[in-house]
Amino acid sequence: MADKHPTDPALLQVRIPRSLRDEFMRSVKLEDDNASRLVRQWIREYLKERAQTDMFESEAR
């Protein structure tokens, strides 16, 4: 089987309380934004912060 291209979309399922999801979706709609775009942005920011933390920890050794 051929490897998929790294930019092919993948699904991430997260279990959260329905009330939290509903509140989030209402907020996203009010701000005329997109929930998936926000989650992708948060993941990128998290990974960027982790990379910086890892770099600082490596330099300290």
Render each residue's pLDDT in the chain as its tens digit; 61 residues.
456 677 888 999 999 999 999 999 999 999 999 999 999 999 999 999 999 877 667 766 6
Rounded distance between C-alpha atoms, residue 2 and residue 20, angstroms = 39
Whether residue 36 lies inside any domain: the answer is yes
pLDDT at 3: 61
Please check whether residue 46 lies inside any domain of the structure. yes
CA angle 54, 40, 48 (to 5 degrees): 15
7 in any annotated domain: no
Domain with 38, as residue range(s), is: 18-60
**Number of domains making up the chain:** 1
**DSSP category for residue 14:** -
pLDDT at 48: 93
What is the pTM (predicted TM-score) of this model? 0.70
Instruction: Please give the pLDDT value at position 5.
Output: 75
6 located within any domain? no
Asked whether 38 and 28 are in contact (CB, 8 A), the reply is: yes
